[in-house]
Amino acid sequence: MVTALLNLLDNAWKYSGEEKQIVLTAEARDGGVAFAVRDNGIGLGRSGRRSGLANLEERALLLGGTFSVGPAGDAGTELRWQVPLGKASSPAG
């Protein structure tokens, strides 16, 4: 889970503008934890995904969670990653 969170933040840092504005939120939701990272970057364009984001989605699914990407207002992106807590046999990271 830590690796996924670092990947979310790394993506926001790489693609944010010169005056970086990155917001991280975390909350308990539906028996799990939900993270959202919002930035003021260039957005995702028409492709909708960067190749590095596929790994985040795969990790969330392996843990029984979800991953989604959307616009963050007028500019930027919001990445949302949610996983259940308390799984004894969760993969590391």
pLDDT digits (tens, 9 = 90+) for 1-30: 788 888 888 888 888 878 889 999 999 998
Q: For 80, how many CA atoms within 13 A lie in the half-sphere containing its CB?
A: 10
Asked if 22 contacts 8 with a C-beta cutoff of 8 angstroms, the reply is: no
DSSP three-state, residue 3 = helix
Q: How far, in Å, CA of 69 to CA of 52, rounded? A: 13
Q: How far, in Å, CA of 22 to CA of 40, rounded? A: 7
Q: Is the pLDDT of residue 50 over 70?
A: no
Give percent of the chain with pLDDT exceeding 90.
Answer: 29
Task: For residue 88, name the pLDDT band (cuts at 50, 70, 90).
Answer: very low
pLDDT number for residue 5? 85
* Structural domains of the chain ordered from first start: 2-84 (3.30.565.10)
pLDDT digits (tens, 9 = 90+) for 55-67: 888 889 999 999 9
